[in-house]
Every structure is written in C-alpha cells, then in structure tokens.
Structure 1
Amino acid sequence: MSTTFLQIHPEDNILVALQELRQGHPITFNGDTFPLTAKISAKHKFALKDFKPEDPILMYGNLIGKATTFIAKGETITIENVVHASSDYSVGKQQSEWIAPDVSKWKDRTFIGYHRADGSVGTANHWLVIPMVFCENRNVNVLRDALLDSLGYSTSKEYLVDAEVLVSKYKAGASKEELMAATIIKTPEEIKENRTFPNVDGIKFLTHDGGCGCDRGDSDTLCNLLAGYITNPNVAGATILSLGCQNAQVKILTDAIAKRDPNFSKPLHILEQQKSKSERHFMEDAVKQTFLGLIEANKVKRESAPLSKLTLGLECGGSDGFSGISANPALGYTSDLLVALGGATVLAEFPELNGVEQELINRCETAENAEKFATLMRAYSDRAIAIGSGFENNPSPGNIKDGLITDAMKSAGAAKKGGTSLVKDVLEYTEPVTKKGLNLLCTPGNDVESTTGLAGSGCNIIAFTTGLGTPTGNPVTPTIKISSNNALSERMKDIIDFNAGTIITGEDTIASKGEELLEYIIEVASGSIVPAAVRLDQNDFIPWKRGISL
C-alpha cells in the first residue's frame, strides 16, 4: 500500500488520499505522473482521469456517482462536482461456493458464557424492566431509582456517597469524631463487589414512546421487538409493566415470545396497573417480583461454550473516508472467521447497502432470499422517494466532511463489514436469527435504531465501527467500538475499544487486524474485557416506527 494514496479496486477511476496532500503534489500511478490541482485532505478522493458531465465515478469497483461538471485529472471529488448514482440490480444465478479462511487455530477455542434452556449462550446476564406503553415510563423510572443504587448497579458513577453508613453509625451511638472518620465513598469497583446479585450483570430499563396512539402495525412491531429482547440469550428474565388498555397488548407480546421459543422458561413477571388496588400496591408488587426474579437470575453462572454460539452484529456509525478501507473490511474478515467457525453474523442498515445490492443478491445462497432482499430494498427505497427523501440523502454532514460524499460510496464501504461469505438468511425487522452464517437484517441506517434491532433479533455481541466517534451502546448486548483511524482512537480513547487505524499506516493488514479483533471479541464475550459502552452505561434503545429513517 502507498503511504500517500490508495486505489481500492483495480477498476476504480478515483484514488483515496491517505494523508493530506499539497496542491501540485506529483501522483505517480501505473506509469503515469500528474499533479494535484488542489490540496487534498486525508480521506478524500481525487480524479484518476478527466471526467465529462454524466461520466460514471467508480470506487470499490462499484458505481458510486456521476460527474456533474468537467473534472480534471488530479482534481478533488466533491459534492459540487459529483452526484449520487448507483447500479440497478436483479435476481439471477446465486453464488454457490465460498472459500473460507483458515480457522484451524480457533477450532478448539471457547468463550465463557451464560447457558440458556433453549440452547443459546449469553455473553451477559441482564434482567429487564419493560413498559408495554409510554404511560408506564414514569413507573419504570421509579423502579430504576429504587433498585440500582440499593442493589449495587450504579457503576457508571465515578463514586457513590453512601449516607446509610452515617445513619447506621449515628443510630448505634457513634461520636462526632467517629462519624467524621467514617468512609462513606464507594468506588465503582467496590459497588460491583458488593452487589446483592453478583452473577447478574445489570438491570436494564427499556423506556420508549410507543405502545399506543400509533399505527397498530407499530405497536405489533414493538411487541415483537420486546419479545426479541426477552428471548435474547443475554437476558435472564423480565418484569413487564402494562397499563392495560394500550394497543400493545400483553397477549401480543407473549404470543411473540412463544413463537420464538415454544418452551420459554425464563422468569417473566407481568403486572397490569389498571387491575391493581393503587399505584402504591402496583409498585410494591413490581419491586418484590423483580427482586424474586433477580434471585433466579443470579443462579446462572458462566460456563464454557463453543464460538459457534456467538451471534455478532455488524454495525457502523459516524463513518469517515477510512472506514471502508480499515475498520469495516477488518470486521468483515472477523465475520468470515466466525462464520467459518459455525457462528452467525448479522449485517444491518439497508439504506447503507444501496449500490451493492447486486453483490449481496449474488451471494444469497437461495433465490428465495435473493428475492426477499431485493424486494425489501426496493420497498424501502420507494417509501423514501415517496416522501422526498431518497437514499441519496443518507450521508450526514459529518460523513461528507470526512470524505463520504454519496450514499453509494458510503454503502460500498459499509458493506465490507459483511466480509465475503454466502448470505444464509434475509430478515425483516424484528425477525430472529435462526441460521448460522451471514444474515442480512432490514434496519434503518440510524445507529441506535439499528443496534436496537440487532439485539432484538438475537445478537449477543455487537461490533461497531466508527471513523468520527460515537457513544452509542445497547442495554443488553455488549457493543465494541472500533476506530478506523489512529487519531480518533487517541482522541476519544474513553469510548474507543479497538483501533483499526494501523491498517492505514501500514503496521497491520486487514487479515491480521481481523484476527486480532476476533480474539478481542472472545474476551468481551467471556466477560474478561468490559467495553467502554458497557462501562459508561450507554444503554441506547430506540424502537423503529416503520416510517422512513435513513
């Protein structure tokens, strides 16, 4: 790899600047030398040939845009001279073979997880408190205030002031001097050590603004999503608070749970406020039943499990011009390794697959899945166009500023997270992962809506690449943040877990970084490493209302 620029695919007619290049800098490529017509910032692209208006712009070997004006060789590719364009696609002959990477060094590796009755294995052990409707959010917050500190789950705080120490000493007759000498500050480590239920990693509260006053389809979808969280292998059980009259009825939820797991046996405590004597009695029952549920959850301990029990969500957010050539392909290599080991991986964010549909269609193992993917993509695109917001509006201002100027360019890099393996299944939003191998899951490009969907479909760990940095996490699924560049890893070290920027600077290859990432994932899955999003209590949960969200 050149230290100054890169051609990603041999058919590309633009190059990527790997560092800032001055105006006039001579570029020598394939025996030709030409000067840059302007300063090119790192991560941005410049023309490898002269372009006339309407000429195709190729990157990753894909059509990612068309020239809108004359562009000279060596000129910067920008939103002023290029517009989004992508290739059409159709269902044809499916790819039937895939050459898997060598995974012999991991064939006997295991992780230490929580085994569930349905055969799945969790990488964490959480109890959920869930409202069926937004009317119950306040009561959920009362439960949060009642349980977190008293049971030792306020680990996101730098410290906790335990005034109960003073109260107990005062009642025992302590002197002023003894009270002043008492230790009342607890560190996060001390809080965790003193948890009432040491085998329960957390109590998570999934407040939302849905469940009623909306399209019935949205409330049904919400019930299916919540069923996905309750049956997620990282969840031990749940407390459900229902008002009673809402669209999102408890029976819809329990039917969705039974569909996912006909032999469902996790503790599930359902309380309906409109049947209670009073709010005081309702909340008293909720606290007591949750406490009893936590007793059961605490009986589960980590035990050895094969890597095939991992279901890895593949996510990106705050992407930059390096994401598609460092963090994303490294994660794609990890995905291929895990698939070869019998695990499952899940590629989401359908608006960020625009322009690479044909490649993914060809990789679908069956014509049925190829047709389902094509249908979902076209329906999503048509809905976006109908409200005047096509896929071309997906790149954010931050994406554009850092070199991702069209949706097809962004998508071609984002799809690299899915590696090269065959697509085993295509899932609608909230559908559970049931097949090993690579799955495609229909979610928006919105980071939190997408990670919310990944966990709801059963992912027990999420790998999240970023070039600009984001604090996004998930309540039940450990989320690993992977930086595309060294500068981000250094600047936001409090939220970045793993750095793929050394691929850009030449110290690592995509394969070596992908292998290193798999080792890191195994440690996180075993609880040996706690990723930043978990340490910082970044419990982002936004159900997707099935309108257009890019």
Structure 2
Amino acid sequence: MSQNIASDTGHLESLRVHAADNVRVALKDLPAGSEIDDNGQRFMLAEAIHHKHKFTLEALQPGDTVIMYGVTVGRATRPIARGAAITTGNTEHSTATTAPQARRGNWQAPDVSWFRNATFDGYHRPDGRVGTANVWLVVPLVFCENRNIEVLRQSVADALGEDPYRDYKRMARELLNGASATEDPIPTRERLFPNVDGVRFLTHTLGCGGTDDDAQALCRLLAGYICHPNVAGATVLSLGCQKAQIEMLRRAVAKRDPRGLRPVHYLEQQASTSEEALIREALITIFDGLAEANRVERTPAPLSALTIGVECGGSDGFSGLSANPLVGAVIDRLVALGGSGILSEFPELCGVEHELIARCTDDAVAERFRTLMTAYQNHAARVGADFSMNPSPGNIRDGLITDAMKSAGAAKKGGDSPIVDVLDYTEPHVRKGLNLLCTPGNDVESTTALAGSGANLILFTTGLGTPTGNPVAPVLKIASNSELAQRMSDVIDFDAGPIIRGEAWIDEMADRLLEMCIDTASGRHPPRAVSLAQYDFIPWKRGVSL
C-alpha cells in the first residue's frame, strides 16, 4: 500500500487510497467546481473541500457505506451528492464484515539487506535484554508521596546541576526583574555520571481509595517500569497504610525479575523517624544507584534486541496516509530483522479487527484479540460509551469523521507483519515480532502502557502536534505533514510530509526513519521529547477511556 500512496499522489490535489474506495482525500483546499480526475472519470466538486477531508466519488443514499483503505469506515445518514464532503452531519460510524486483504502466512517481508549487519549501542542487562537508555527510577506507591517525589526531583537536579527547566526559570526571572537578572542559581556542571541518562521521577494519582484490582494493576505497571531494560534500578517511596502495599509490588517485581537482578530500594515514610530522614535515605539510594549504573557502558547489540512501541496522538487527515504507514514500514523492517513491535490503542482498531485477525499467526492469538476487544467494548457499553466516541474535536476538524476512519489509518502503524501475540494491559512482551497491546486511545495512558510492557523505544505519530514523552523509553515524534514539522520543530523529530507531496517513497523514508531509530537507541540522537523533559506517566485506571 505504501508504494500505491506515494505513486498516486505525485503533485495531484487529491488521493484515492485504495482501489475499492468510494472517497478521495483532498491534499489541499479545493474550491467548489474543481474538476476531479479519478482514474479517468471526471466530475466537478459539488462544494468546497477543506484539505485533509474526504469527498465522495459517487452519490450516496442513506444507509450506503463509505469505503476508505478498502474497508467500511462509515454509513451515510442522508443523501450525499457526488463530489460532496463527508461530514459528521451526513455520515456516522459504521463497520462491516468484509473480506480481509491480509492472509495468514502470506506476508512478504521487506528487503532489509541494507540493515542485515546493523547494530545499535545499548546497555546490556544481566537478564539478557538491552536498554536504549540508562536511567535510575524513583517511584511512589501512592499519590500521598508525590510531594516527596517532587522534593527529591528538585534536590537531585540541584545537586547534579542538570535542571531541564533552567532556561525557563531564567526567562521568568528576566520577565519579573528585568533583563539584568540573569544569574543562574543552578550552574551547569560536568556530568558526574556520563554513562547514565538521568534520574526519572514518576508521580500518579493512584495507590489508595480504589479497588483491589486498581492497586494490583498499578503494581504490575510499576513493576514493568522498574524491570524495564532502560532502567538500572529504582527507589520506591511508600506511605505505609495505602492499599498498594510494598509486598504487593515486591511480588509483581519478582514475576518480572525472578532472579532478583534489578536493585530496588523500598522506603516507608510511616516507618521512618522523620520526613528529613526519609528524604536523606532516598537520596543515598539514588546517588549510590547512579554510581553503580555508571559502571555500565554502551556496547553493540543486534537490532533484534529492539522493541518499538507505536502510538498516534493529535491525528489529522494525513496521519493515515503518511506518518502511520511510514511507521508501519519501519515495524515491518524491524520484525524482518528479528526485532519486535507493539501496536496499542484498542478503540482505534475498531473497524479493522478482521484485518488484524487475518494476520494472527494462529487461532489462539486471534481468539485472545477477539476476547479482549469484546470485553473492552462491552465494558464501554455498560457505562453508556462506545468506541465511536473516540475521535476528538481536533480529529474531526481535520477530516477524521468516524472512529472506523480513524482506526483504518491508525492500524497502519502496525505495518503488515504477522501478529505473534496479544497482550492485556500491563502484560510483558515476551515474543519476538508484532504484538497487540490492550490500552485505551488516550495518548499518555497508552504510551505509558507501551513502556510498561517493554517497549525500549517509541514512535509517536501526530498531525496536529502532541507534546508527549515517556520517563524511561525515548519517544520520537513523526509529523504527518511538513507544515506541522516546521511550526513545531522543537517537538517534531521526523517529517513525513514529503510522502503527501509525492516527493518521496514510503520505503525510502522508512529506511531513513529506521536509521534515526538506531541513532536514538545508541544515544547519538537525543529525541525532542527528551530534550524538553517530556516525561509523561499516567496509569490507566481500567475504566472507560477512549
């Protein structure tokens, strides 16, 4: 499909993505009366079409299906003239069982000969996994410890001279006191631990006041972070009386790390003599941990040790045409090289389930996907919600009219490779190849889960611009269009816009993006999210989050 997109665009003004589609996508603002050439069939636009939006190739009557990517993405609710826009006023979410394009066992792996002997420089852990970063983690078991986490965050930044907000603090002083007030209270110092990428501090709103399941899920997620290949060790703060107890987290960590290879220090405030004593003990564990982590250096590792999680946020009408299939092409390359990908956001897979089921390696994997997807949908229905509510106002403004339309493009991030496993929320990735992970569509909740299941690098596509990162897994942002890449250049790492303009093939761009992934995994390319200290962490409280 990637080559079809690239070759079909050229310098055209609109695009039909799949031969079976009955809509085209406007690649620029098109005035009413514009002549459209659709495979030799010429007609006039019935109305002005905003760029990224879709218009019909034939007149539709109420109940007729809207087809894009070769699958049903909606149903007309009123008559729609040929050459008219698809909108929320004339189309509603709908899916239909169609013959899948995919077939089990028929995947044609891409040519990866260029990368066959490629390696990245990573941190080799005692359990055999390889990290793309080397951080010490500071974790609260309950929201009551968030204030102490913030005290530790500021104290460690001051001691190391590594305050990521130094420039903003200087800006605030200058605005308040005048341009002369430029003295920096936290001077920059030589890095004391050059082999460590920093200390990451998590905060959250859970740990008490919820159900036992909430507490167990939080501990499983935290265990995934503590035992992550990018994490050297952790300091855990507990109040003492909360529902998520230290012993609960110990058991969750032991399941991930049965040999006890990861150093973890548990501190309980209600058992401490004072807050000062607690903070002092925590600081000692952090600085001792940094000294130990600094003894590990980057050394070459095969690309099969990479696990890339894929995410989209702030999607636009071009995301499913450029950035998402581009990322999918990277995942296909990585899988062909023996590595792994993780595709999440179950609400954004609604409508393409049949395609994903057809790609599952066996019936058991397919049934696990059906079971988790059905359970999620049923839970949403019980509280009066539905996956069709997923598209945000920003999505709709940019042409993603229905959840099925959004899903058809979102699923492209997973490429075309076989699906080897389906994971429930907080479950660890264990099988090489493409995995599906049950998460909500919420950007940060889903990105948080990807790292918790073991993604040691994350590719995040966006069409509108989303300032999201992760505390332990480097996040690369891929813009669906060049206007965004230029306007938010401090947030975006890679521009997929040339694909839309017909200036580059997806295959060509995928090789370039994979090279950036290798450089990022090796510490040679610092992602914008890391430079901006975008370390977002939001656990999913297993309610309805679309």
TM over 0.5: yes
SS in 2 for 1:71: coil
Q: Which of 56, 76, 79 is residue 88 of structure 2 equivalent to?
A: 79
Q: Which of 312, 317, 323 is residue 313 of structure 2 equivalent to?
A: 317
- What is the distance in 2 between the residues matched to 1:110 and 1:141? 37
Q: Which of 111, 124, 130 is residue 133 of structure 2 equivalent to?
A: 124
- What is the distance in 1 between the residues matched to 2:148 and 2:24? 55
Alpha-carbon deviation of 1:507? 0.9
Q: Is the 8 A contact 1:427 1:439 kept in 2?
A: yes
- What is the distance in 2 between the residues matched to 1:399 and 1:39? 19
Q: Is the 8 A contact 1:156 1:535 kept in 2?
A: no
Q: Is the 8 A contact 2:138 2:236 kept in 1?
A: yes
Alpha-carbon deviation of 1:89? 8.6
Alpha-carbon deviation of 1:509? 1.1
Counterpart residue identity of residue 532, structure 1: R
Provide the residue aligned with 2:61 in structure 1.
52
Counterpart residue identity of residue 28, structure 2: Q
SS in 2 for 1:511: helix
- What is the distance in 1 between the residues matched to 2:413 and 2:161? 37
Q: Which of 525, 539, 544 is residue 543 of structure 1 equivalent to?
A: 539
Provide the residue aligned with 2:195 in structure 1.
199
Provide the residue aligned with 1:363 in structure 2.
359
Counterpart residue identity of residue 247, structure 1: K
Provide the residue aligned with 1:31 in structure 2.
40
SS in 2 for 1:323: coil
Could you list the runs of 5+ residues in structure 2 that have no partner in the other structure?
A: 1-7, 171-181
Alpha-carbon deviation of 1:514? 1.1
Alpha-carbon deviation of 1:90? 11
Comparing 313-322 and 26-35, the one that deviates more = 26-35
Q: Which of 238, 259, 263 is residue 259 of structure 2 equivalent to?
A: 263
Q: Is the 8 A contact 2:21 2:69 kept in 1?
A: yes
2:352 counterpart of 1:343: no
Q: Is the 8 A contact 1:111 1:522 kept in 2?
A: yes
* TM-score, length basis structure 1: 0.93
Q: Is the 8 A contact 1:269 1:290 kept in 2?
A: no
Q: Is the 8 A contact 1:9 1:60 kept in 2?
A: yes
Counterpart residue identity of residue 34, structure 2: H
- What is the distance in 1 between the residues matched to 2:452 and 2:444? 12
Q: How does 1:161-310 map to 2 (within 5 A)?
A: 185=184, 191=188, 194-310=190-306
Counterpart residue identity of residue 460, structure 2: F
After superposition, give the CA deviation of every residue in 1:141-186 in whole Å (9 maximum; x if it has no partner).
111121112113213432888xxxxxxxxxxxxxxxxxxxxx9649
Counterpart residue identity of residue 80, structure 2: I
SS in 2 for 1:137: helix
Counterpart residue identity of residue 160, structure 2: L
Provide the residue aligned with 1:174 in structure 2.
none
Q: Is the 8 A contact 1:94 1:367 kept in 2?
A: no
Q: Is the 8 A contact 1:461 1:477 kept in 2?
A: yes
Provide the residue aligned with 1:178 in structure 2.
none
- What is the distance in 1 between the residues matched to 2:524 and 2:285? 31
SS in 2 for 1:324: coil
- What is the distance in 2 between the residues matched to 1:366 and 1:48? 38
Q: Which of 482, 485, 491 is residue 481 of structure 2 equivalent to?
A: 485
Q: Is the 8 A contact 1:100 1:336 kept in 2?
A: yes
After superposition, give the CA deviation of every residue in 1:175-220 in whole Å (9 maximum; x if it has no partner).
xxxxxxxx96499xx83x6122221111111111101110110110
Provide the residue aligned with 1:177 in structure 2.
none
Counterpart residue identity of residue 108, structure 1: N
Provide the residue aligned with 1:146 in structure 2.
155
SS in 2 for 1:333: helix
Q: Is the 8 A contact 1:152 1:196 kept in 2?
A: no
SS in 1 for 2:469: coil
- What is the distance in 2 between the residues matched to 1:118 and 1:233? 9
Q: Is the 8 A contact 1:330 1:500 kept in 2?
A: yes
Provide the residue aligned with 1:166 in structure 2.
none
Alpha-carbon deviation of 1:430? 0.5
Provide the residue aligned with 1:463 in structure 2.
459
Counterpart residue identity of residue 139, structure 1: N
Q: How does 1:387-536 map to 2 (within 5 A)?
A: 387-536=383-532
SS in 2 for 1:66: strand
Counterpart residue identity of residue 537, structure 1: A
After superposition, give the CA deviation of every residue in 1:62-95 in whole Å (9 maximum; x if it has no partner).
110000111111011111110100125999x971
- What is the distance in 1 between the residues matched to 2:266 and 2:273? 16
After superposition, give the CA deviation of every residue in 1:389-447 in whole Å (9 maximum; x if it has no partner).
20110000000000000000000000000000000100000000101100000010000
- What is the distance in 2 between the residues matched to 1:372 and 1:406? 26
- What is the distance in 1 between the residues matched to 2:537 and 2:116? 35
- What is the distance in 2 between the residues matched to 1:32 and 1:90? 26
Q: Is the 8 A contact 2:135 2:197 kept in 1?
A: yes
- What is the distance in 1 between the residues matched to 2:506 and 2:151? 48
Q: Is the 8 A contact 1:121 1:305 kept in 2?
A: yes
Q: Is the 8 A contact 1:199 1:300 kept in 2?
A: yes
Q: How does 1:94-113 map to 2 (within 5 A)?
A: 95-113=104-122
RMSD, matched Cα: 1.7
2:145 counterpart of 1:136: yes
Relative to structure 1, the CA distance from residue 289 to residue 479 in structure 2 (aligned partners, 3 Å threshold; closer, same or farther) is same
After superposition, give the CA deviation of every residue in 1:102-124 in whole Å (9 maximum; x if it has no partner).
11111111111111001111111
- What is the distance in 1 between the residues matched to 2:367 and 2:99? 9
Q: Is the 8 A contact 2:308 2:458 kept in 1?
A: yes
- Asked which structure has the greater CA Rg, the reply is 1
After superposition, give the CA deviation of every residue in 1:357-415 in whole Å (9 maximum; x if it has no partner).
00101111121110110111111111112212201100000000000000000000000
- What is the distance in 2 between the residues matched to 1:17 and 1:186? 52
Provide the residue aligned with 2:4 in structure 1.
none
Counterpart residue identity of residue 226, structure 1: L
Counterpart residue identity of residue 279, structure 1: E
Tell me the matched-pair count: 525
SS in 1 for 2:320: helix
Provide the residue aligned with 2:178 in structure 1.
none
- What is the distance in 1 between the residues matched to 2:165 and 2:150? 17
SS in 2 for 1:199: coil
2:18 counterpart of 1:9: yes
Could you list the runs of 5+ residues in structure 1 that have no partner in the other structure?
A: 162-182
After superposition, give the CA deviation of every residue in 1:500-532 in whole Å (9 maximum; x if it has no partner).
010000111111111111011101111111011
Q: Is the 8 A contact 1:153 1:203 kept in 2?
A: no
Counterpart residue identity of residue 260, structure 1: R
* Percent identity of paired positions between Structure 1 and Structure 2: 57
- What is the distance in 2 between the residues matched to 1:264 and 1:496? 38
Q: Is the 8 A contact 2:71 2:98 kept in 1?
A: no
Provide the residue aligned with 1:165 in structure 2.
none
Alpha-carbon deviation of 1:286? 1.2
- What is the distance in 2 between the residues matched to 1:84 and 1:60? 15
